[in-house]
């Protein structure tokens, strides 16, 4: 009726343009048909008003939906921004952990720990070395002492031999004194004294031998003790030092690797923070969108008002005109263009049933089930 005769999915055409009535040549239309033309104009105005009102409601709902979702997204992004900043700070704190360890509240670099351990081990090795040298000096001194004692023992043997000879001489002197009778009395006394002297010397030699044995045993014990000190096995120290060097190198390498990774992570975290901050700013688009949509709604209200006024003035000028009735076919062709079930349902309710769009379901994701209320069943 209003010229909506093109195909539903013709993208090059728009409903408003399609709704423009066919060119009417008033000079060839007889005056009897003027009322019919006006009737068609009035019907079109009525439908345009309904469409405008439905569009206003649709725009308002969409604006509200966009604003709600944008607010939710903005909140999420702000929380994400805070998390990203905290993450950056945490990752940054890893840098000091990668370089060293905490000792009494101070960060000690791994290189310093390595130097400290190496220094301590080197000090221990140096002391062992000095101990070995001093022990060997003592061993040589004891060897010398032992040689002296052995020489003394040989002297003691010679002393015993001399003493044995002396004793034998005393015994012979005593025999000769007895053989001499009274003349040998004095000689007997001397022989006895020599024999007593020899016995005393023998006893002293025995005592000295015992003492020398104690000295020899003492030297042997000291020798054994020094041997244990001088032969301390440093293999474990060598291996410990080598293991320590390998471990420390591994620790330093790990520290360097961690430092590189952490530096990259810090850089990436900062980039994420910057991106998220940009998103928080970018998500503010809903303010501009709302303002634009308010302008659209305002313009539609002005058109609606103008249509209402021209309808009113026309009806007042021509009281004989019939009341405007909805053009079902036109509405049907218009609604065929809508792919969203809820949108179609709201338009049906508004254009045909006169329902209020605010009472009908909104276009929300996942809620595209077609409505089955009222005239929607017609479509």
Partner 1 sequence: MKVEFDDNGARVYISGEFTFTDHIAFKAIADRVFEGQGWPIVIDLSKLEFIDSAGLGMLLIVRDEASKAKRSLVLRGPHGQVKRMFAVTKFDTLFTVEA
Considering only 36, 102, 123, 143, the residue that binds partner 1 (CB under 8 A) is 143
Which residue lies nearer to partner 1 by CB, 123 or 308? 123
Considering only 114, 237, 289, 375, the residue that binds partner 1 (CB under 8 A) is 237
**Which residues within the stretch 153-192 sit at the binding site for partner 1 (CB under 8 A)?**
none
Which residue lies nearer to partner 1 by CB, 126 or 178? 126
**Which residues within the stretch 332-351 sit at the binding site for partner 1 (CB under 8 A)?**
none
Give the nearest distance from C-beta 136 to partner 1 in angstroms.
4
Considering only 233, 288, 317, 359, the residue that binds partner 1 (CB under 8 A) is 233
Contact track, partner 1, 123-142, x by CB under 8 A: --xx-xx--xxxxxx-xx--
Which residue lies nearer to partner 1 by CB, 143 or 329? 143
Considering only 19, 171, 230, 258, the residue that binds partner 1 (CB under 8 A) is 230
Residue appearing with tokens 């120290």: 237
Binding segment (CB under 8 A) for partner 1, from list 22-30, 207-215, 233-241, 335-343: 233-241
Look at residues 341, 347, 326, 337 and name the one whose alpha carbon lies nearest to residue 371.
Answer: 341
Considering only 37, 162, 185, 232, the residue that binds partner 1 (CB under 8 A) is 232
- Would you list the DSSP string of 225-265? HHHHHHT---HHHHHHHHHHHHHHHHHHHHHHHHHHHHHHH
* Spatial CB neighbours of 362, under 8 Å, sequence gap ≥ 6: 61, 65, 342
Considering only 5, 172, 203, 231, the residue that binds partner 1 (CB under 8 A) is 231
d(CA 225, CA 98): 48
Give the nearest distance from C-beta 145 to partner 1 in angstroms.
14
d(CA 329, CA 325): 12
Contact track, partner 1, 90-129, x by CB under 8 A: --------------------------------x--xx-xx
What one-character DSSP code corresponds to residue 361? P
Asked if 28 and 9 touch (Cβ cutoff 8 Å), the reply is no
Tokens of 282: 């970018």
Specify burial of residue 51 (Cβ count, 10 A radius: 0-12, 13-18, 19+): buried
256 binds partner 1 (CB under 8 A): no
What one-character DSSP code corresponds to residue 269? H
Q: Say how many residues touch partner 1, by CB under 8 A.
A: 23
Which residue lies nearer to partner 1 by CB, 231 or 281? 231
Q: What is the largest CA-CA distance in the chain?
A: 209
Contacts 24+ apart (CB under 8 A), 14-21: 15/51, 15/334, 15/337, 19/44, 19/47, 19/48, 19/330
Give the nearest distance from C-beta 251 to partner 1 in angstroms.
20
Applying CB under 8 A, the residues found at the interface with partner 1 are: 122, 125-126, 128-129, 132-137, 139-140, 143, 227, 230-234, 237-238, 241
């Amino acid at each position: 009726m209003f010229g909506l005769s093109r195909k539903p999915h013709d993208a090059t055409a728009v409903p408003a343009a399609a709704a423009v009535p066919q060119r009417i040549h008033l000079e060839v239309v007889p005056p009897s048909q003027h009322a019919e033309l006006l009737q068609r104009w009035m019907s079109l105005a009525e439908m345009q008003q309904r469409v405008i009102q439905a569009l206003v409601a649709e725009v308002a709902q969409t604006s509200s939906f966009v604003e709600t979702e944008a607010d939710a997204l903005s909140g999420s992004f702000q929380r994400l921004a805070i998390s990203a900043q905290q993450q950056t700070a945490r990752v940054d704190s890893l840098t000091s952990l990668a370089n060293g360890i905490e000792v009494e509240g101070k960060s000690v670099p791994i290189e310093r720990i390595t130097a400290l351990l190496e220094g301590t081990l080197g000090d221990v090795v140096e002391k062992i070395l000095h101990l070995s040298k001093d022990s060997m000096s003592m061993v040589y001194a004891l060897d010398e002492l032992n040689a002296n004692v052995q020489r003394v023992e040989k002297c003691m043997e010679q002393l015993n031999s001399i003493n044995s000879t002396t004793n034998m001489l005393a015994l012979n002197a005593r025999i000769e004194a007895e053989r001499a009778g009274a003349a040998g009395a004095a000689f007997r006394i001397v022989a006895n004294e020599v024999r007593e002297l020899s016995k005393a010397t023998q006893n002293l030699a025995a005592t000295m031998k015992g003492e020398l044995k104690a000295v020899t045993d003492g030297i042997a014990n000291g020798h054994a003790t020094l041997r244990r000190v001088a032969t301390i096995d440093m293999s474990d120290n060598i291996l410990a030092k080598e293991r320590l060097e390998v471990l420390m190198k591994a620790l330093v390498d790990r520290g360097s690797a961690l430092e590189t990774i952490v530096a990259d992570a810090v850089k990436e975290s900062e980039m994420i923070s910057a991106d998220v901050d940009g998103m928080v700013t970018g998500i503010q688009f809903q303010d501009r969108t709302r303002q634009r949509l308010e302008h659209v709604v305002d313009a539609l209200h002005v058109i609606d008002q103008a249509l209402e006024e021209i309808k009113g003035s026309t009806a007042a000028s021509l009281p004989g005109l019939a009341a405007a009735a909805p053009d079902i076919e036109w509405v049907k062709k218009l609604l065929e263009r809508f792919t969203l079930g809820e949108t179609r349902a709201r338009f049906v309710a508004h254009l045909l049933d006169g329902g209020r769009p605010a009472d009908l379901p909104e276009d929300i994701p996942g809620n595209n089930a077609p409505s089955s209320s009222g005239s929607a069943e017609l479509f």
